[in-house]
Amino acid sequence: MKATILASTFAAGALAQNGAWGQCGGNGWSGTTSCISGYSCNYVNDWYSQCQPGTAAPTTTAAATTLVTSTKTAPPATTTTATASGKFKWFGVNEAGGEFGDGIFPGRWGTEFTFPDTNTIQTLRSQGYNIFRVGFAMERLVPNTLTSSFDNGYLTNLTQVVNSVTNSGAYIVLDPHNYGRYYGKIITDTAAFKTFWQNVAAKFASNSKVIFDTNNEYNTMDQTLVLNLNQAAIDGIRAAGATSQYIFVEGNQWTGAWSWNVTNTNLAALTDPENKIVYEMHQYLDSDSSGTSTSCVSSEIGVQRIVGATAWLRANGKKGVLGEFAGGANSVCKAAVTGLLEHLKANTDVWEGALWWAAGPWWGDYMYSFEPPSGTGYTYYNSLLKTYTP
C-alpha cells in the first residue's frame, strides 16, 4: 500500500482538484478533471484517466481532459480468449506484521513488529486459500548493508512462517516491503541488490513453494532503474540455484494496475532462463487508488481500472497476479470487487490469481483486515472470496 507515503500529498491538494495519481476522467466520471500543481490529467483507457506527473500526453480519446457523463460501462467480464480456464492458480491473502514499525530498526519482536499467526493462516488454508504474501523489512533481515549477513533471529522467525505455510501445501510470497528503498534511500546499487537476493534465495532454494517478490511498490524512481533492479533480483535468485520458484516482479508508481500500460511498459524486457516471471500489480478502488478509504468510486471501478493491464499482459505474452486488492465493507465496493475478480477469472490466460490486502495479528479494526475470526474484511468478504479459491 502507498498510504503512508502519499498521505501528506493528498492532504495538501486543493479540494477542487484531484490529487497525485487520482482519477480525473473516463466514461461515467462526474468529478473534476483538474489536477494539483505538477500533475496533469492523462488518458489510461476509455474508463479511466489519471493525474500523473508532468504535462498531459497526447491522447486517443477526449476522456483524458473532457468531463464525460456517459453511462457506458467497461467491457463485460466474459471478454476472454480460448485459452482462459476460468480457474486461478493462486488465490489468497497478504500477511502483514514483519514490516511494521517503519523507521524503527532493528525494532523489537512483539513491540515494533510481529510475524503472522500460523494458526489463523491454517484457518484460511482450510477454506481453500493457497497463497500468502508475507511482508518483511530488509533492514531487519540484513541490518548493516544489502550484502551483509542475516540477523539470525529475524531469519528464524521468517523461516518458521515459511515452513508452516509450505508444509501445508500452500505457496508463500517473500515480500521485502521496502518500496525500492533501504533505510529510506532509493536502492541504486544493482550489484548489491543482486547479492541480497542471491543470499535470500539460497536459504529457500530447495522449496519450490516459495515465491520471491523483488520489492514492494517501487515508486517515484527512474524507470530504467526499476527495470534493472528487477533484472538484478532475477539474476541473483537464479545464481543461488533457486530454479524451481516463481519470481514476482513489481513496477514503478506503486506497481499500479490502473497505469501499468503507460508506466511500466519497459518491464516487458525482463528475462528469466526458467521462464517463471509473473508481473505483480496492485489495485485499490477508492478515488486515488491508494487503499486509504472505505469508499469505492463506483460498482464498476474494479473492471475499469484493470482492463488496460489485461490488454498489456496479453499483448506482451506475459502472466500477471494481482498482489494487493481490497475494498470497503459496503455494497458498492462489494460489487466492484466482484466485477474485478470476475474479470480476472475470465482472463486466466494472463491472470494467475489475486491476494487480498491484508491479514495479520495487529490490524485491530482496520477497514480491510482479513484476520480470522473477526477482521472487518474477513467477516464481510470471506463468503465471497473463498468461492474464487482454486
The catalytic site residues sit at 217, 324
Longest dimension (CA), the chain: 58
Q: How far apart are CA 254 and CA 181, in angstroms?
A: 13
Q: How far apart are CA 380 and CA 328, in angstroms?
A: 9
CB 92 within 8 Å of CB 84: no
Looking at residue 173, its amino acid is: V
Q: Report which secondary-structure segment, H or E, holds 357.
A: strand 351-359
Contacts of residue 11, Cβ cutoff 8 Å, sequence gap at least 6: none
Q: How far apart are CA 104 and CA 213, in angstroms?
A: 23
To 10 degrees, what angle do helices 301-316 and 331-346 make? 20
Distance of CA 76 to the CA centre of its chain: 24
Distance of CA 45 to the CA centre of its chain: 20
Q: How far apart are CA 360 and CA 97, in angstroms?
A: 6
